[in-house]
């Protein structure tokens, strides 16, 4: 591709002043997707349809009737439904399944004239931190093909990293947008629980799941978030709270009161350079007149266990519907109803998904329900209350997004504890329901990137994005 765009504004500028058309823009993205096929970021590219849509958008631009995302070429994670298109959650069990309706987020993107270019690879049912759990192969980090892009929204992150589209949507249950954003040097945000409709998102853990964007600029993050946010009659957990004009209010001139937690940073699991850079940003903030206080959060060690007890419980219930009868893959080996269920689920689900269904079934079983599930809910409440309290006392909580830079493909996938600990810094926000963003502010001497995470108050996206813009401009 001749030119690499970092924001919709740059594209709009070229459309207005330099004769760029959406058709030629889509063509150049399609070329790049073809050239970068080895990255395995896309499971399907909607070539003809994207070109046809681009032609329509060009006509609307000429008539001055185009929506605010005209010129935005976007990819969607393969767990977001788009009517008449395949959706598989990167699972064999949904092989061949086509969406009967579109997710609310897709409807809203299309209504503003975004061009959906394809669906992206991910960990099966969004369970994983490296994209190694996809039934359709690994996604490669574009910066170093031996490294993972993170997960579970690895394909969505790489699509933006490698300029295969301008932006993408992922889903974040415990870090699946923010951790791959950190690994791929792009921005990734998990909005407040209930800010964005989950209608049409294939559920993993319904009380945690949120759809969130990957972008190369804060402006695009704000724009996409404002388009996809807001009440939806199809999702009763989606808030009706008014959506501010996020993208028009990114100015920032406040002196803030910020905090970070000592045990998160003075932790032997944290890479020394990631830590060094974290403190450097803290010093910059102080030098600019902000107050940054070191405090403590006593539940750090409970975040990952709480997350896995509760999300596997929800997953075991959500994934019960994939039985070989209602959707997708049906085993040819079944001889009656029960064996059809058994064979279809045994053959259709991958190893990690089966592990989680079994874990979740265990924590919900009669004898262990109180010991695990009820206890997990109680600990979630403690974490949520304490997080909210901290966010009453401080404007934002600062942490690294991930303790390290991208790890090698194949190195860690047999060590479940290690893999689950990938979520150490990202699990808190979805446990508490608060919004969090990963900003690409770290460059390691090993040549790989890492992110800086900011957590904000519930429905504090406007403040979070304004502060993000300031951080990106000043670091």
Looking at the annotation, which residues are catalytic? Answer: 77, 152, 176
Q: How far is the CB of 174 from ligand GLN (least distance, A)?
A: 3
Identity of the residue, 89 or 258, whose beta carbon is nearer to ligand GLN in the bound complex: 89
Q: In whole angstroms, how close is the CB of 171 to ligand GLN at the nearest point? A: 6
Beta carbons of 6 and 216 less than 8 angstroms apart: yes
Beta partners for 450?
442
Q: Looking at beta carbons only, is 215 or 413 nearer to ligand GLN?
A: 413
Minimum CB distance to ligand GLN smaller for 7 or for 428:
428
Tokens 């493909």: give the residue. Answer: 409
Tokens standing for residue 227: 């388009």
The residue among 252 and 420 lying less far from ligand GLN, judged by its C-beta, is: 420
State which residue, 173 or 387, has the beta carbon closest to ligand GLN: 173
Helix (H) or strand (E) holding 70: none
- CB of 205 vs ligand GLN, minimal distance in Å: 8
Residue placing its CB nearer to ligand GLN in the complex, 343 or 420 = 420
CA 441 to chain centre: 18
Question: For residue 148, what is the DSSP state?
Answer: -
- Evaluate whether 61 touches 70 at the Cβ level (below 8 Å): yes
Best CA proximity match to 252, nearest among 4, 21, 473, 466: 466
> How many whole angstroms separate alpha carbon 28 and alpha carbon 46?
14
Nearer to ligand GLN, 26 or 122 (CB): 122
Shortest Cβ 350–ligand GLN spacing (Å):
13
The whole-angstrom separation of Cα 288 and Cα 292 is 11
| Least distance from ligand GLN to the Cβ atom of residue 124, Å | 10
Q: Do you know the residue count of the chain? A: 475
Do residues 216 and 186 make contact, with C-beta atoms less than 8 angstroms apart? yes
- Name the β-bridge partners of 229: 196
By beta-carbon distance, which residue lies closest to ligand GLN? 176
> Which of 241, 236, 187 shows the shortest CA–CA distance to 215?
187
Distances (CA, A) of 373 to 308, 370, 426, 430, 475: 10, 6, 21, 17, 42
C-beta of 40 vs 131, nearer to ligand GLN:
131
Shortest distance, position 419 Cβ to ligand GLN, whole Å: 7
Separate counts of helices (H) and strands (E) for the chain: 17, 11
Rounded Cα distance between 347 and 384, Å, is 38
Q: How far is the CB of 148 from ligand GLN (least distance, A)?
A: 12
Give the footprint of ligand GLN on this chain (CB under 6 A): 126-129, 152, 171-176, 204, 422-423
CA distance 203 to 175: 15
CA atoms within 13 Å, Cβ hemisphere of 82: 26
176 exposure class (CB count in 10 Å sphere: 0-12, 13-18, 19+): buried
Least Å distance between CB 245 and ligand GLN?
28
Q: Parallel, antiparallel, or unpaired for β 436-443 and 449-455?
A: antiparallel
């Amino acid at each position: 591709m001749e030119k690499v765009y970092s924001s919709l504004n740059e594209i709009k500028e070229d459309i207005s002043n330099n004769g760029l058309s959406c058709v030629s823009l889509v063509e150049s993205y399609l070329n790049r997707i073809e050239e970068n096929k080895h990255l395995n970021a896309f499971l399907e590219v909607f070539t003809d349809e994207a070109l046809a849509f681009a032609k329509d958008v060009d006509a609307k631009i000429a008539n001055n009737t185009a929506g605010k995302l005209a010129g935005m070429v976007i990819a969607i994670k393969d767990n977001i439904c788009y009517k008449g298109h395949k959706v598989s959650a990167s699972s064999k069990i949904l092989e061949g399944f086509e969406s009967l309706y579109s997710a609310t987020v897709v409807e809203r993107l299309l209504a503003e004239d975004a061009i959906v270019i394809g669906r992206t690879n991910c960990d099966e049912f969004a369970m994983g931190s490296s994209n190694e759990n996809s039934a359709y192969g690994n996604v490669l980090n574009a910066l170093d093909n031996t490294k993972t892009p993170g997960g579970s929204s690895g394909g969505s992150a790489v699509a933006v990293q490698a300029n295969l589209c301008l932006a993408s949507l992922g889903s974040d249950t415990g870090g699946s947008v923010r951790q791959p954003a950190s690994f791929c040097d792009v921005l990734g945000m998990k909005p407040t629980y209930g800010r964005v409709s989950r209608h049409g998102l294939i559920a993993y853990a319904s009380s945690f799941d949120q759809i969130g964007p990957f972008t190369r600029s804060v402006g695009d993050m704000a724009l996409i978030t404002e388009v996809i946010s807001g009440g939806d009659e199809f999702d009763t957990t989606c808030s009706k709270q008014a959506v501010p004009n996020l993208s028009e209010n990114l100015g920032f001139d406040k002196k803030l009161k910020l905090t970070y937690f000592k045990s998160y940073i003075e932790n032997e699991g944290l890479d020394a350079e990631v830590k060094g850079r974290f403190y450097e940003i803290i010093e910059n903030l102080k030098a600019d007149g902000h107050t940054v206080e070191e405090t403590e959060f006593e539940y750090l060690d409970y975040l990952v266990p709480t997350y896995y007890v509760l999300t596997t419980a929800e997953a075991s219930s959500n994934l019960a519907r994939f039985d070989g009868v209602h959707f997708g893959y049906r085993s040819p080996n079944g001889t009656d109803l029960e064996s059809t269920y058994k064979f279809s689920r045994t053959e259709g689900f991958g190893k990690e998904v089966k592990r989680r269904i079994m874990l979740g079934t265990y924590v919900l079983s009669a004898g262990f329900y109180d010991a695990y599930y009820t206890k997990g809910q109680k600990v979630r409440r403690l974490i949520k209350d304490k997080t909210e309290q901290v966010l009453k006392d401080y404007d934002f909580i600062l942490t690294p997004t991930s303790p390290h830079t991208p790890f090698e493909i194949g190195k860690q996938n047999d060590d479940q504890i290690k893999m689950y600990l990938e979520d150490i810094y990202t699990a808190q926000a979805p446990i508490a329901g608060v919004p969090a963003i990963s900003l690409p502010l770290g460059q390691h001497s090993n040549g790989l990137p890492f992110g800086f995470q900011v957590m904000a108050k519930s429905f504090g996206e406007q403040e979070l994005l304004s502060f993000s813009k300031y951080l990106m401009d000043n670091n």
